Amino acid sequence: MATPREDGKNDIVGVVGAGVMGGGIVQLFACAGYRTKLFDSREGAAAASIAKTTALLQRRLDLGKIDRAELDALTGNASVADRLDDLADATIVIEAMIEDLDNKRGIFQRLEEIVAADCIIATNTSSILVTSITAGMTAPDRALGAHFFNPVPLMRIAEVISTAS
């Protein structure tokens, strides 16, 4: 159910960070039909996040609040990335980790080594300047801020912040 691009490829969304925001971003994109991979450095956190969202949607299905297609889209499109390297085929990677500048910078620099040159690397930060996070990147113009609002699947808005280049 992934949305094909003009070039025939399917966009893959990578998400780094399996907390509330990361889990919500995964739900949003997976339910919209995008293959979505979730990575977290904490053992089992990504799988637990997807399982929690699946259980939540199952409950909403049982209550008649959603249809089966939404749950099937999540279970068919959301998967765990065991290693950051598993995000190499992503078209966009959205970082949604705790607000720690050094960690975010490290992730951005590592992602820049892993993903294709045309992959967008985004941060969901709400308190750190995007240009501060991208300071160590070779190509900071491929990065942006994508500030989602909580709860992500219900708030149909995202703020997009470009980097100064």
How many helices (H) and strands (E) are present in the chain, helices listed first? 5, 7
How is residue 7 written in tokens?
Answer: 């070039």
Whether residue 93 contacts residue 115, with contact meaning beta carbons closer than 8 Å, is answered with yes
CA distances from 11 to 40, 74, 91 (A): 20, 15, 6
Which position among 48, 147, 149, 163 bears the catalytic label?
147
Measure the CA–CA gap between 156 and 147, rounded to whole angstroms. Answer: 12
Measure the CA–CA gap between 2 and 156, rounded to whole angstroms. Answer: 20
CA angle 113, 115, 117 (to 5 degrees): 90
Annotation says 55 is catalytic: no
Burial of 68 (0-12, 13-18, 19+ CB in 10 A): exposed
Just list the catalytic residues.
147
